[in-house]
Amino acid sequence: DKILAPAARKLVAEHDLDVNAIEGTGKGGRILKEDVQRAVKEGSAKK
Amino acid sequence: MADKFDVIVIGAGPGGYVAAIRAAQMGLKVACVEKWIGKEGKVVHGGTCLNVGCIPSKALLEASHKFVEAQHDFADLGIETGDVSMDVKKMMARKDKIVKNLTGGISGLFKANGVTAIEGTGKVISSKQVEVTDQDGKATTYDADNIVVAAGSVPVEIPPTPLKEGMVVDSTGALEFQETPKRLGVIGAGIIGLELGSVWSRLGSEVTVLEAMDDFLPMVDGAIAKETQKLLKKQGLDIRLGARVTGSEIKGEEVVVKYSDAKGEQEATFDKLIVCVGRKPYTKGVIADGVGIETDERGFIHVDDQCRTSVPSVYAIGDCVRGPMLAHKASEEGIMVADIIAGHKAEMNYDAIPNVVYTFPEVAWVGLTEQEAKAKGIEVKTGSFPFAASGRAMANNATEGQAKIIADAETDRVLGVHIVGQHAGEMIAQGVIALEFGSSAEDLALTCYAHPTMSEAVHEAALAVEGHAIHMANRKKK
C-alpha cells in the first residue's frame, strides 16, 4: 500500500517494476520519481 | 509569590501568540507577555504583523488597487464610472477597524485556550524567570520551566535621514498618512518599500524609490525580477538603483534628499519621505546580563535549528533570530518550539518557506532561484509560462506576468517555483506543497488543474520543463 507520486506511478508502469522492492524517500515514505529512477538504474525492482 | 508557568512567551506577535496558543493546546500552563500599546491606549496582541505590518499594509494595498481599477481599468470592461475619488481618511479608518478586529481576536483566542495574558515589558532575568514591568513601572517576577523569546523586530534607521514625525517616517508612519502626499520619496526598493510606494502611487503620489543596490530584488529569480521591475515602472514607480542616500534636510514643508549614483551627486525634493531600508531584531533589554544567552553583533539571538538558545530552558523565535523575517516563518517556529516543550520531536523545513510581495501583480516564490541553483553547481531545467497565454488571465484583465519552475536536470525534482501575476501569493502554496513532498516537475505536469484558472500557468510551466507545454510554442531544445 505504498503511496507513489504521479510521475513515479508512470515510471513504475513503464518499466513494469515491483513497487514493494522500491524504497520511498519522500514525505511519509512516498515513492518519488527519483526513487524509481534509481531502481531502474540499479535494476533493483524487477518483477 | 507570583504564578508559576510551564511556558512564558515574551511577545504576542505571529511567533509568540501562535507559540502560546499551541503550547496551551498541548496542555501546558502558558503566559504571554506583551507591551504593545494600541491606538486606544491599551495593550494589544498581534505584534508588528497585525498592528503595523502585514495586515494594515494589505488593507491599503487592496483598497488602493481597487481605486486604480475603477479609475483606469473598468472602462476596458465596459463599466462607466464617471469620476472616481478616494477618501483617504475613510480608507485608513477601514484599515484600523480590521486591525482592531484581528488584535481583539487574538485576545479572544488566548482566553479560549486558557493562555494568561500579562501586560508589560518582559525581560528574561534567569534561565527560569521572567520579570515583567507594567505601564506604571511596577515589576513582577514570574517563574517558568520554559521561556520563549519572541520579541520581534523594528525598522532600521539610518543617520542620513533621521525620522521627523509625519514627514520623514518609517513603515509605521507610512501607514498613517491622512492625505496623499504629492511627491513621495521611498528609501529602499525591498518588499516594504515597493508595497508602500505602490499604495501611495496608486492614490496619486509621484513616487521615487531610491535603492542603494545595483540589482532590483536580488533575492528574486532573475527573469521574474526583471519583469516585475518593468511592470512597476510602467505603473509610475520611479525606481532608481545604485542610488546611495548621503543626507537630507528639512526645508519648511519639504524634505530634500541628497544621494549619489553612477552619474554623481544628486538631489531630490519630496513632501514626505519613507525610510524602509530594513528591519533589525528587537532584543535590547529583553535579556538581562549574565543569563548566558548569546546574541550576535547585529543583535540576533543565537539559536540552533530547533530555536534553542545557549540556555536549555530558553527558546527564541521569529524576527529576533536568524532566517527570513516573515510572519509565517515566526509562527511555524512557534509551533515547533511549543511541540518540543510538550515533549514531541519537531522540526521545520526552512527550505520551503514562501515569500510574497503584494504589489500588483503579486510576486511570489519558494525554493531556489535559477541563479542560486547555478551558484550551488546544480544543473537545472526550467519551464515558464506567460499569463498572456492564459484564458483565465484574459478574462480577469490581468495578463501580466509569468510562472516559472526550476527542476533538477537529473532527478526532475522541483527546486523552485516563481510567479509574478495576479494572485501569485495564493498560487505559490502549490509550489510549497510540491517542495514539501519532493515533487518532480513531471508530478505537477501529470496533475489535473481546473480550467479556467490562473493556476494552470503553473501546470503549463511544469509541462514546459520538458518542452511539452500545450498552450504555447515551446522553446527549441538546444
Residue B132, domain member (yes or no): yes
Q: Residues of B annotated as binding site?
A: 58, 122, 188-195, 211, 278, 319, 325-328
Q: Cβ contact (<8 Å) for B446 and A6?
A: yes
Looking at the structure, tell me whether residues B150 and B191 fall in a common domain: no
Tell me the DSSP string of B26-42.
TT--EEEEE--B-TTSS
**Nearest CB to A6: which of B413, B438, B447?**
B447
B82 and B216 together in one domain: no
Optimal mutation site among B437, B447, B448, B466, interface A, most CBs of chain A within 10 A = B437
CA distance, residue A26 to nearest chain B CA (Å): 6
Mean pLDDT, rounded, for B302-327: 98
From B277, B293, B322, the end of a domain falls on B277
Amino acid of residue B60:
L
Residue B152 has pLDDT above 80, yes or no: yes
Write out pLDDT tens, residues B155-197: 999 999 999 999 999 999 999 999 999 999 999 999 999 999 9
Point out the residues of B that are catalytic: 451
In a shared domain, residues B46 and B105: yes
Buried b (16+ CB within 10 A) or exposed e, B97-118: eebbebbeebbebbeeeebbbb
Decide if B413 and A7 are in contact by the 8 Å CB cutoff: no
Residues B266 and B284 in one domain: no
**Which stretch of DSSP H or E encloses residue B7?**
strand B4-10
CATH assignment at residue B108: 3.50.50.60
Q: How confident is the model at residue B1 (pLDDT cuts 50, 70, 90)?
A: very low
- Contact call for residues B105 and B112 (beta carbons, < 8 A): no
* Chain B environment of A10 (Cβ under 8 Å): 442, 446
Spatial neighbors of B57 by CB under 8 A, at least 6 apart, are B171, B175, B192, B195, B196, B199, B358
Identify whether residues B47 and B100 lie together within a single domain.
yes
Mean pLDDT of the B139-148 span: 98
User: Closest to A33 (Cβ–Cβ): which among B436, B442, B447?
Assistant: B442
Instruction: Please answer yes or no on whether B442 and A7 come within 8 Å at the CB atom.
Output: yes
Please tell me whether residues B286 and B253 are part of one structural domain. Answer: no
Position B162 in a domain:
no
pLDDT the model gives residue B478: 56
Do A5 and B413 count as a contact with CB atoms less than 8 A apart? no
| Known binding-site residue numbers of B for NAD(+) | 188-195, 211, 278
* Shortest distance, CA A47 to any CA of chain B (angstroms): 23
Residue B475 lies in a domain: no
Candidates B9, B94, B11; CA nearest to B55 is B94
Specify the amino acid at residue B16: G
Three-class secondary structure assignment of B236-280: CCEEECCCEEEEEEEECCEEEEEEEECCEEEEEEECEEEECCCEE
Q: Are residues B264 and B326 in the same domain?
A: no
pLDDT value of position B2: 62
**Whether residues B264 and B335 fall in one domain:** no
Instruction: Give the one of A10, A30, A37 whose C-beta lies nearest to B437's C-beta.
Output: A30
Kindly tell me the burial class for residue B463, based on how many C-beta atoms sit within 10 Å of its own C-beta (0-12, 13-18, 19 or more): buried
Q: How many angstroms away from the CA of A13 is the closest CA of chain B?
A: 14
User: What is the DSSP annotation of B46-62?
Assistant: SHHHHHHSHHHHHHHHH
Domain that holds residue B363: 354-466
pLDDT, position B477: 61
Q: Mean pLDDT for chain B?
A: 97
Q: What is the pLDDT of residues B326-361, one digit of tens each?
A: 999 999 999 999 999 999 999 999 999 999 999 999
pLDDT of B124 reads 98
Say which CATH number the domain at B435 has.
3.30.390.30
Handedness of CA B225, B231, B234, B239 (dihedral sign): negative
For B410, nearest residue in chain A (alpha carbons): A34
3-state secondary structure of B234: helix
Respond yes or no on whether the N-terminal peptide bond of residue B324 is cis (omega within 30° of 0).
no
Q: Are residues B120 and B199 in the same domain?
A: no
Residue B206, beta-bridge partner list: B183
Per the structure, the count of domains in chain B is 3
Q: Do B413 and B385 share a domain, yes or no?
A: yes
Which residues of A lie closer than 8 Å to B, measured between beta carbons?
5-8, 10, 25-27, 30, 32-34, 37
Per-residue pLDDT tens digits for B347-397? 999 999 999 999 999 999 999 999 999 999 999 999 999 999 999 999 999
Based on the fold, state whether residues B149 and B217 are members of the same structural domain. no
The C-alpha of B195 sits at a distance from chain A's nearest C-alpha, in angstroms, of: 36
In chain A, which residue's Cα lies nearest the Cα of B442?
A7
